[in-house]
Amino acid sequence: MDQSKRPSDPIGELYAGHHHWLVSWLRRRLHCPDQASDFAQDTFYRILIAGRYEPPREPRAFLATIARRILIDNGRRFRLEQAYREALESSIEHIDQAFSPEQILQAIELLESIDRALARMKLRTRETFIMRHLEGLSQDEIARRQGISVRTVQADLVEAMLACDAAMEAN
């Protein structure tokens, strides 16, 4: 097929034109080339699965925003896993009541399914859920921070809980 008649691939062009830059940008923040490559791939994967793609005016700013969100999500997941590990370690004192390897695996799988459910939520809904259940903010505090009504906060929390319940039932 003639190159000029080939349909354009805007995501492929974005990848070809900015992948190296994104890996370098991530490497400066993470100080780990392997993690930088992984997060760059995750960034392009999110773009691919997001649905309809419109090339941005500022591709590097666009990629940096997505990558930054992935880094934040990864940090939250790491803190959640760390809190779970610490809880397990503190329960070692009561070894006769310790969790079995199967229970630990089941808990990790459950946390991963909740993490996937959170990743599929709208950004505001996910942030509302995290502020409430991980940061311990009240609904009033969340409403003030996000500039929305308490009723909207409540609706977002219900939506998030339903998504998490569905993820747990599927597990």
Q: Is the pLDDT of residue 20 over 60?
A: yes
Output the pLDDT for position 1.
Answer: 45
The answer, as to whether pTM is greater than 0.75, is no
Categorize the per-residue pLDDT at 141 as very low, low, confident or very high, splitting at 50, 70 and 90: very high
Categorize the per-residue pLDDT at 22 as very low, low, confident or very high, splitting at 50, 70 and 90: very high
Report all structural domains of the chain as residue ranges with CATH numbers, in order of start.
9-98 (no CATH), 100-171 (1.10.10.10)
DSSP string, 110-142: HHHHHHHHHHHS-HHHHHHHHHHHTS---HHHH
Alpha-carbon distance 17 to 92, whole Å? 51
Mean pLDDT to the nearest integer, 78-92 = 80
